Structure 1
Amino acid sequence: MANKTGYVWHLRRVMADRGMFQTTDLIAPLAERGAKLSREQVYRLVTGTPERLNLAVLAALCDILDCSVGDLIEPRTSATPTSAKTSSSPEPPERLRPRRARILPEPGQ
């Protein structure tokens, strides 16, 4: 079995623990710390799980919410079954083949 590493993003819960219930509550404090994000970016940061996160933004969030990185990000490791073939070599991608063109005679010929 191979291990797959992921994480759980707890920003919304940490905000609620601090009495912050609106995503717009973060816009001004982030801007004061040099992390200027739009309203939409802050909304996605709070309501979703970010794939990428600027370390300056992460440090600003920890400062604003008076928490550590571990309070915001919980690492998770899950075991995934591997194929019965060889576990060291990845499966080759499925080959795509072009479809043969069908040429029809023009009408009236």
Structure 2
Amino acid sequence: MKRQIEYKFHVRELMARAGIRTSRDLVDPLRDRGITLSESQINRIVAHNPDRIAFQVLVALCDVFGVEMNELVTYTSADVRTQRRKVAGDEAEIPLMEAYRPVRARIRRPEDD
């Protein structure tokens, strides 16, 4: 069974708790920890759930806010139901095939019209 994983990045909430109002205010604390990112890069991390992020950035953010990783990122996972595709000859198709009756073809010559 396939699983669907969804995650939420809690940087905005942690910024609010720490009294940090804008993503610009994260530039210096991250730079102090060896992470050099532009304001726009930090804004993307803050405003959206990033698809990819370096582990060093995650650890630096945890250090800036003084939290563990599970407080920075939470996730949920659930089973995904897949739709069963119908295949010719499948049991569901048999009643339809039995109900089908071919029509006899009539061939006419042009002179018969």
Do they superpose with TM above 0.5? Answer: yes
Q: Matched residue pairs, number?
A: 86
What CA distance in whole angstroms lies between the structure 1 residues aligned with 2:57 and 2:3?
A: 29
Structure 1 or 2: more helix by fraction: 2
Instruction: Look up the match of 1:65.
Output: 65
TM-score by length of 1: 0.72
Moved over 2 A (4+): none
What CA distance in whole angstroms lies between the structure 1 residues aligned with 2:27 and 2:54?
A: 15
Q: C-alpha displacement at 1:10, in angstroms?
A: 0.8
Matches within 5 A, 1:1-109: 2-85=2-85
Q: Which runs of 5+ in 1 are unaligned?
A: 87-109
Match of 1:79, SS state, is strand
What CA distance in whole angstroms lies between the structure 1 residues aligned with 2:22 and 2:63?
A: 18
**Which has the greater radius of gyration?**
2
Q: Which runs of 5+ in 2 are unaligned?
A: 87-113
TM-score by length of 2: 0.70
Q: Which amino acid aligns with 2:30?
A: L
How big is the alpha-carbon RMSD for the aligned residues of Structure 1 and Structure 2?
Answer: 1.6
What CA distance in whole angstroms lies between the structure 1 residues aligned with 2:4 and 2:48?
A: 20
| Deviation readout 1:39-64 (Å, 9 max, x if unpaired) | 10011111111111111111110001
Match of 1:8, SS state, is strand
User: Comparing both chains, which one has the higher relative contact order based on Cα–Cα distances under 8 Å and sequence gaps of 6 or more?
Assistant: 1
What CA distance in whole angstroms lies between the structure 2 residues aligned with 1:52 and 1:2?
A: 21
Same amino acid, percent of matched pairs: 33
